[in-house]
Structure 1
Amino acid sequence: MTASSQTLPGALPPEQPSVPRPVPLSQGLAAKASEAAAAAVIDATMAENGGATGEELAAAEQRAGILFDAAHVEAAVSAAREQAHAEDQAELAQLREELVAARRELGLLAPAYRARQAVLRLCEGRRGDDLLLVSAVAVAAESGATALDGLPMRLTWLRSADVPEATDRVQRTVVHCESSYGGRAELVVEGDDRMALASMLDSSIIRDIHAPCPHEQTCGSDIAPPDEFGWFHLDVGGLGEGLRWYCSPGCVNAAMLRAGRELAAIDEAADDMIAVDQAEHPGEYAERPAEETAVDARCARCGCTEDAACEGGCAWVPNTQMIDLCSACATPAELDAASWKTSGGES
């Protein structure tokens, strides 16, 4: 091959500096294998044909299957895309079948659930030794309804209830009742619903702390009413609202109860956070030694105290240095400044 045969027509473009990029190990090995295969094909073609041209070398690489073929790559991408689409369609079809099967199972279970609920309603409120007609149970199980569905359950209060203590975290009242069939029934009222129920029973004595006031646009606000006579102007501690106007003692009491509930909720949340923090950092909450008790007064010069006075007795002498100083250690000038007399000051 001569030098002229290797020269391509036209000027060559300027070479651009190449920036090396990190290549993964697997890609590097594959690239080296591809380069080795291409070099082997080129060497074999040149050895066979002598002065091979560029077209001959490209044809040899094409036959060896190492020449980039855009059509082949596009076909491979399209095939992969179609395969993924087919897999997605198959998965969606399977999900549809499972959904249909689940709906079919729910449809089969629905009558059984309705029948169970009807039988439970039929038994609700009855004594344990009560006898039900087989026909009534059969109708409830068959139709999912009872003859009593349209009637309310009538309960009679047994004049007893479980009232929560002030320290209970869950404020729950259980009212003991009895059904018209003699069965046991309990009315459970929690939280602020207890106050609401009590206010409905006798609004003249107890008022729901969350019930709206007839003067709700002014009561509980900082807007002064047109006629301030009989109104209360005060700041309920805990609400953080500042001075507010309240139309009646009931509204003042409701505001104070709301503040108490909010403060209790804040304290409860703080206790829960402390408990969690103690569980997560037990070392930081180890028992600490009790603080030292206050030290008895001790003379700054001789160290005597109330329980251990100087020999012959002494007394405390006021001084401008504001230190604990006994009469046995004080100078004549300090004694004169304090107007201290031996006859009346020594103990």
Structure 2
Amino acid sequence: MIRRLGAAITFGVLMAGPVVPNEPDPQYAILGFEDLNGWADDDHASALAVFKNTCADLDEPDWASLCALAFDASDARQFFELFFRPILITDGKEPLFTGYFEPELSGSPVRTARYRHPIYKMPPEANDRRPWLSRRDILTSGVMEGRGLEIAWVDDPVELFFLQVQGSGRVRYPDGRMIRVGYGGANGHNYRSIGQELVRRGVYQPHQVSADVIKNWVRRNPAEGEDLLYHNDSYVFFREVSQVPAERGPLGAMNRSITTLRSIAVDPAFTPLGAPVWIEKEGADPLRRLMVAQDTGSAIKGAQRADVFYGTGDDAGRQAGRIKDPGRMVVLMPIQRAYAFLPEAYQ
């Protein structure tokens, strides 16, 4: 979903950006598959199926060759062990795993007394000046009205705000029909965390802030809550992507459906999109699993930073909202590419 600000909602955009000259150079280490904790116990066939969903979009010759071999592979674990090498990439920052999900909202194709909060398409002029209008200006100046820019109308402005945070979602109409919306652009303003703002105001301590806590506070305090949402100048526009079947995941940054607990969002400055990535997430619910880097996010910055996709709906949202854990991620690279990071390995 060229998506989202992901877990930035709770702790803000705290990660560093892509590699720049005044930051430490990334470090690379080749590991063995025996070094991957839990590797033998994973369902490698499931990971291979997800890898095949996007590998055809990888243009480099080594990746293209491996994609062709993937479709003929009869033993998924053997395929990964034979043609890849695990690379641990570090950049001096602490590893951090968070979670994201696809929300589902109640809505209508037309405005009604209940459904009166629009999901907007991006107006053409928003591309002409960067940054464009702030969130407050977009929603209060009338600049969007009467132009046919509404995709749908929803009943809850707080859920709409969080739809923008995630960058994609589904809208269920009263007759049971459903549409899916995906990221369609933004106004160019930097994201400002409303969770951090609540902490700054002394409303909560950092460890108390979560998406549900923020939602409940805004609903209990309508006037102050509306002003809190305006604190975030960033505004996300959408496009309808209902051609993606409801039973499949939303579109990721590779414009392909992502898969629950097999797709992650990464920083492409360190991890190539489409690459398999071994995850060792700690915390209350440890995770040892081979995933595929198929998405990105504005808060996902760093060599050891990943956002795990937990699926669609409220249950997935609750699971994703609990994740803020340490761990380790190891990228599986084609063999020649892996050793290219360490020329001394040939000596």
Q: Which has the higher helix share?
A: 1
Provide TM-score, normalisation by structure 2. Answer: 0.18
Q: Which has the higher strand share?
A: 2
Provide TM-score, normalisation by structure 1. Answer: 0.18
- Higher RCO, 1 or 2 (CA under 8 Å, sep at least 6)? 2
